Structure 1
Amino acid sequence: MKRLGPAVVLACLLLVPCRRAAAEWAADIVDMEWSPSRFVAVDKKAQSFSLLSRQSPLRVLSAIPCATGQELGDKFKEGDLKTPEGVYFITRRKSAGLNYELYGDLAFPLNFPNPADVVRRKSGHGIWIHGRGHALIPYETQGCVALSTPDIHRMDAELAEGMPVVIADEVRLGGSDAAKLRDEAREVVDATRAWGKAWENRSDAFFDFHDPDKFSLTEGKPFSSFRSHKEGLFRTLPWIKVDLSEIRAIPGPDYWVTYFVQLYRSPTLVSQGLKRLYWQRGADGRFRIIGMEYEEMPVTLAANGKRGKRPSPDEVETDTRKPDSPSEEEVQVRQLVGAQHDAMERVAQKAFASLSLKSQPSPEDQAILEVAGTGATKPGVSPFATDALRQAPPAPQDIPAVPPAAPVPIPAKPAAVAQKAPAPAAETEKAVAAPQVPAPAVPAAPVQVAAVSPAKTPPVNAPAPVPEQKAPEAAPAPSVSPAKAAEIAAAMEGWRAAWERGDITAYMGFYADGARQGNLRGKDAIRRQKEGVWRGSSPGRVGIEVVAAAPSGDGYAVVCAEAYQARGRRESKGYKNLLLVPSGNRLLIAQERWTRDRPADIPVVAAKVSPAPAPVAATPAAPVQAAAPAAPQAEAPQAAPAPAKAERTAQVASLVESWRTAWEKGNVDAYAGFYAPDAVQGDRRGRASIRDDKAGLWKDKAPSRVALSDVKIRPRKDGFVVTCVQDYRSRDGGGDHGLKTLYLAPSGGGFAIVEEKWSRL
């Protein structure tokens, strides 16, 4: 059994409030007779999820890793990327209509905001416990609690509607005031029974159990309206019976929740449901009800009312179950897409001219989450980062010298173009996609290479290069000295070693005071996150290789290739984009960001940093060696293929999107027009056969949704091969999920599908 931290031997016991900072709640576990028979405890600091059962005594059934919000602290407003702290209840099980990348295939929505949250003026919605369509990363959600897909499937049989979920900054064992806390629990349980008895007696004392101001706020209507309604029933009904059973009590940050099965009977109505009362201590020291929730249940006892007699509508209690609201993560993505769509459209049009983006990108464009999760979009970097539009990362040894990119990218030095020699053999092995904005501009006329600084010389025509003008202009991109390169490499090795040892003190010594790490701000936040992560899964192996470095302001922008493997976990690979700043006689990390692909937004990428002299070919000095007369003449032919390749890739990306749209609309003629006359689609041969097959199929089962995700475009001979994950739904409720492969060949001025393969996932 994995530990959740010092908290999570969770060896037994119901959570009780421990007052700390207003924005953070530490929950202690104390056993008591009113504990829920089964509930969940989430420790945000330790990134742990525990299932507890009280069968005298309370015990931990399961303890597994989880991921919570990207920002620390309690949630107070929508979009703050924080996970709320308090007592919540599972409202339902959700297994259909989920975005697999975000939620896996299973989710359990929670009742956030609860009445106590409403009193505290918290905002937001859509907080779920859900799976994940990718490997679990600590502190990565928009506010939900995420489990790995295998773990949430193991929990599926244990989690149920109405189960309490306690979410706290820290969950701890025991408490010094256990006796006092048990007294508080007894007090709210006794108050619950007395409230039920006063209701049954139709007594004015019933109203004294409520806090009028707070109850009005959570109910959304004046307390006087609630009171007059109840008083009218008390006068009209000759008798009322209220039976409360299975009373449970559980504490939140500054409130208690009692919940129970309520059976209500009167001459005209029998109803049964699960009711929750939220209690808060008032200024007079007495617990009062600030809000309530009710969920109707089937009546399991024989009704003593007359058959066929309809209950009075004034007597029926409102079922407060809320309909599903979209997860806050999904809302964040929608907002991000809406806010940045215009910018994406402009960038795409400038870069690819013919590429059109839809105003509502389909769910496969989840690379937007990578932008949202790694900070604000930087000028000159496209926020739209699907695989179809993401530039394939070059191998570390092939990283070119690229000057700072502007929103309309025109490299400032011709050396940037000249240095980038094509490597056909390597590129056929990689996924090639339309470049992001940092790539060279693609003007309308491909023969014109806008690579020379307009301040010094006019654009050079590729067919007629002028070596005499370009040779003096050529200059190496800014780079680091050998001594500074060695200092950077030494700092990175020390940081790597401390990380691999799990030495948090030494590790934090490599960070500046106001350092940023992803969405974390400041050394305290970074330390805390790492302590929580390493408690659950300590580092096993950390591989760091400095592949690029360049001056940036007073410091240095550094790109490191990273291979990380926690103990007992799979290896993950990616790149660290770091900003190192001088501090005394050391270099400290001021900014750190991880990406799966080599970052494209580093201001200047210079040569591979290595004390060894071997990688001479990658140094920025290479383009300066213009003494050889053949060197200048080779520059124009080397630069020319890049715009053509970008245009062709963009053309394929646009074709695939248009093909998908025609398919989704059920436009059979437009759909068939994307296929070559002799195309092959499964066991169908020829465009006419494909068209007839689809026309017959769509007559009864027209498409309703076609989503393509994980789109990759690779060159193949004189054409392209496109692979993607296809999610198809038809209007009759059918559908499939599988891997689609399209083989494209030149046709006229564009491309056509010559072969299509599909396999179920």
Structure 2
Amino acid sequence: MRVFAVLLALLMILSAPGIAAAGDSGVQAAKVGWDAHISGHSAGPPLLIGVSKKNQQLYLFQQRSPLAVKQSFVCTTGEMTGDKFIEGDLRTPEGVYFTERRLDSGLDPDLYGKLAYTLNFPNPVDRLKGKTGSGIWIHGRGHAVTPRETKGCVALYNPDMSRLENDLDIGLPVIIAEDLEWNPGDSNAPAPENLEVLVKQWALAWQAQSDKFFDFYDSEKFTKAQGTTFAAFRQHKESLFHHLDWIQVAANDVIVLPGPDYWVTVFSQYYRSPNLTSAGVKRLYWQKEADGALRIVGKEFLEGDAALAQKLEKEYLQRVTTEMNGFVDAWRSSWERGDLDAYAQYYDKNANQGGRRGIEAIREHKQVVWRDQPPQRISIKDMNVSLDPRGVQIRFRQKYEAAGNYSDLGLKTLVVAPTKKGWRILSEDWRVL
């Protein structure tokens, strides 16, 4: 009986949270929860909150070459140790989260102080793991905090919450871990796991309406994390690929954040197609597969406000203007050389040029004109690029000179679309000046 009692006691110890067997060396305490390691790099966020449950500390990190702690505060977290898995387990979740809604009225002043920000728990990876619960906030407290006194939230004494308030904003990354380590890193170092490059490749595959776009996803995990089947997601995208003449996707200001067994990339996304323009913030959650490749297991998208939409449209237009400068100069050069085959490649097969419809009609017209008066010089000035429902509109002053001392000066307007084969002219109009 005594031996049985000893074995039973040992079994109870091994079954307790945070305790594990250590093989032949006996029994030792296992790490409770996740130890986060934060380092500065080229895709680090400008501001980041880090929470150490072990030390009951909240840190505000700022990446200004290098990463540094801007402020730190005593905080309090859930009553129970370990990661949150079940609603009501009194634990604070561990992972990468983001502030969502600002709450500054109707709060119980003793429990929640004067200000609270909700967090996006459960995030897609939490749902993938079957975690349940809600209502995880960062909030104030109407009394001085003591260690581990919340039902799962992260709380600060009201005066500290007021000091933090100026740096709090919707969408601020929050890393919550059992323990937290950080180093300044190198703000010029590439993003970990090549994720900044992967995001750009993902955006290009989407823009190209390519089947390779779907290779970036883990279909089984995506289904569990998103609550909708990957098959339905793919079918919807393939339908758009089939019906849309073009898609433009810009992924700007990519941020890369480390999670317990996943990575999160956050970026400003600008999307354009013939029937829709949208601007917002996209989050992609990545996990490493057995083959070593990182694949997307979940996503979140937040539609941007008018200010963000204006900013992203301006950035998109700047990029497109640079592309159009090169496109128009190459088109002009082929025209000036009288290279009919090269010139024709810049037009859509159904292009309209001064009433001539279709590339064959345009070729025939130029062939006749150039035979009698081959072009000698085309000069372009005062080019302006603007968005058009069909793509972009380009206007410029054009001076045309041909053999036989012929010349004219006019205002040229091109409408150019980003087709699957590259930029192509849909329409071309000219009026004399």
The corresponding residue for 1:64 is 73
The whole-number CA distance in structure 2 between the counterparts of 1:157 and 1:174 is 24
The corresponding residue for 2:245 is 238
Structure-2 change in CA distance of 1:305 and 1:271 (3 Å): farther
State the AA in 1 paired with 2:84. Answer: K
The corresponding residue for 1:40 is 49
The corresponding residue for 1:150 is 159
Query: 2:104 aligned with 1:87, yes or no?
Result: no
The corresponding residue for 1:201 is 208
The corresponding residue for 2:196 is 189
The corresponding residue for 1:163 is 172
How far did residue 150 of structure 1 move?
Answer: 0.7
Match of 2:288 among 281, 297, 309: 281
Structure-2 change in CA distance of 1:263 and 1:131 (3 Å): same
How far did residue 222 of structure 1 move?
Answer: 1.3
Structure-2 change in CA distance of 1:183 and 1:21 (3 Å): farther
Q: Larger Cα Rg: Structure 1 or Structure 2?
A: 1
The corresponding residue for 1:270 is 277
Deviations 1:719-751 (A, max 9, x none): xxxxxxxxxxxxxxxxxxxxxxxxxxxxxxxxx
State the AA in 1 paired with 2:93. Answer: P
The corresponding residue for 2:37 is 28
Match of 2:131 among 118, 122, 126: 122
The whole-number CA distance in structure 2 between the counterparts of 1:285 and 1:238 is 35
How far did residue 108 of structure 1 move?
Answer: 0.6
Matches within 5 A, 1:247-646: 247-297=254-304, 298=306, 299-300=309-310, 301=313, 304=387, 306=389
State the AA in 1 paired with 2:387. Answer: N
Match of 2:60 among 41, 48, 51: 51
Give the number of the structure with larger relative contact order, counting CA–CA contacts within 8 Å between residues 6 or more apart.
Answer: 2
Q: Tell me, what secondary structure is at the counterpart of 1:90? A: strand
Match of 2:147 among 138, 151, 166: 138
Contact 1:268 1:305 in 2 (8 A): no
- Percent of residue pairs identical: 47
The whole-number CA distance in structure 1 between the counterparts of 2:183 and 2:37 is 6
State the AA in 1 paired with 2:177. Answer: A
The whole-number CA distance in structure 2 between the counterparts of 1:183 and 1:278 is 19
Structure-2 change in CA distance of 1:42 and 1:304 (3 Å): same
Deviations 1:560-609 (A, max 9, x none): xxxxxxxxxxxxxxxxxxxxxxxxxxxxxxxxxxxxxxxxxxxxxxxxxx
The whole-number CA distance in structure 2 between the counterparts of 1:33 and 1:47 is 29
The whole-number CA distance in structure 1 between the counterparts of 2:167 and 2:201 is 33
State the AA in 2 paired with 1:293. Answer: E
Deviations 1:548-571 (A, max 9, x none): xxxxxxxxxxxxxxxxxxxxxxxx
The whole-number CA distance in structure 1 between the counterparts of 2:77 and 2:256 is 25
Contact 1:270 1:304 in 2 (8 A): no
State the AA in 2 paired with 1:156. Answer: E
The whole-number CA distance in structure 2 between the counterparts of 1:306 and 1:184 is 36
* Alignment length (residue pairs): 284
Instruction: Say what the alpha-carbon RMSD is for the aligned residues.
Output: 2.1
The corresponding residue for 2:377 is none
The corresponding residue for 2:106 is 97
The corresponding residue for 1:577 is none
The whole-number CA distance in structure 2 between the counterparts of 1:227 and 1:245 is 24
What's the TM-score once normalised by structure 2's chain length?
0.63
Deviations 1:665-710 (A, max 9, x none): xxxxxxxxxxxxxxxxxxxxxxxxxxxxxxxxxxxxxxxxxxxxxx
State the AA in 1 paired with 2:81. Answer: L
Deviations 1:427-473 (A, max 9, x none): xxxxxxxxxxxxxxxxxxxxxxxxxxxxxxxxxxxxxxxxxxxxxxx
Contact 2:41 2:190 in 1 (8 A): no
The corresponding residue for 1:106 is 115
What's the TM-score once normalised by structure 1's chain length?
0.36
Contact 1:267 1:305 in 2 (8 A): no
How far did residue 173 of structure 1 move?
Answer: 3.3
The whole-number CA distance in structure 2 between the counterparts of 1:202 and 1:253 is 33
Structure-2 change in CA distance of 1:133 and 1:154 (3 Å): same
Contact 2:42 2:191 in 1 (8 A): no
Deviations 1:607-634 (A, max 9, x none): xxxxxxxxxxxxxxxxxxxxxxxxxxxx
Q: Tell me, what secondary structure is at the counterpart of 1:152? A: helix
Contact 2:43 2:190 in 1 (8 A): no
| Structure that is richer in strand per residue | 2
Q: Tell me, what secondary structure is at the counterpart of 1:92? A: strand
The corresponding residue for 1:712 is none
How far did residue 29 of structure 1 move?
Answer: 2.5
The corresponding residue for 1:641 is none
The whole-number CA distance in structure 1 between the counterparts of 2:67 and 2:123 is 26
State the AA in 1 paired with 2:230. Answer: F
Q: Which runs of 5+ in 1 are unaligned?
A: 1-19, 308-761
